Amino acid sequence: MNKKWLFSLGCLGILIFLGVAVLLWGVGIYNSLVTKDQACNAQWSQVENVYQRRADLIPNLVSTVSGAANFEKSTLTEITEARAQVGQVKLNVDGKTPDTANFAAFQKAQDGLSSALSRLMVVVERYPDLKANEGFMGLQAQLEGTENRISVERGRFNEVVQEFNTGVKRFPAVLIAGILGFNPKPYFQATAGAEKAPEVKFDFQKK
């Protein structure tokens, strides 16, 4: 076996080794991103669950509050319309984290509902009898618990998204993440004006 043939075999061996190394490197990055992506999807499902829990409580809340004498019609209308807006937002299917456009629409609708609920609770302060109503108090406690869960699950979602986005943007994964279909995901942002007390305009129902 001459030297040229040995050299060719050596080059072929090196190329095969490099090819296998690159393949294993790519598989490692892909598997890591898949794991992080699935964590985001799982946490997104938790976010949807707690938001759905809030939406399910609202019809009973509205029904209970509407029974109070002279309760503000505009407040009830606003919260009912805000809940309807939430239901109109169409998200991606298959349990995946929504894309940026859908995510923004989802957060906007949910923030609108949060704002309407805040105003409702401010109005309730004018109704001692309503605040003493056991049915209302029970619903209020459930809503407060749900709001706390929403805050927790949103925070956890942002944490797993941060880990995913870091993985996508970190070298060397950034070289192939886009090619493999892994793109940065959106975060939940603080609601604009959340630090301000809700403004309430009273519009009493006539008896």
| pLDDT for res 24 | 67
Consecutive H or E run containing 49: helix 3-66
Q: Spell out the residues 6+ positions from residue 28 whose beta carbon is closer than 8 angstroms to its own.
A: none
Mean pLDDT value across residues 32-41:
92
| pLDDT for res 70 | 67
Mean pLDDT value across residues 32-43:
93
Q: Does the pTM exceed 0.85?
A: no
The two most distant CA atoms of the chain are separated, in Å, by: 107
Render pLDDT for 40-75 as a digit per residue (tens, 0 to 9). Answer: 999 999 999 999 999 999 998 888 888 776 677 888
* Share of residues in the chain with pLDDT > 70 (%): 82
With cut-offs at 50, 70 and 90, classify the pLDDT of residue 14.
confident
Render pLDDT for 66-98 as a digit per residue (tens, 0 to 9). Answer: 877 667 788 888 999 999 999 888 876 667 888
Q: Is the pLDDT of residue 183 over 50?
A: yes
**Domain ranges for the chain:** 57-199
Higher pLDDT, 173 or 159: 159
Mean pLDDT value across residues 171-195:
79
| pLDDT for res 57 | 92
Buried b / exposed e along 93-117 (16+ C-beta atoms within 10 A): eeeebbeeeebebbbebbbbbbbbb
| pLDDT for res 68 | 72
* Share of residues in the chain with pLDDT > 90 (%): 40
Query: What are the φ and ψ backbone dihedral angles of 125, each rounded to 5 degrees?
Result: -60, -20
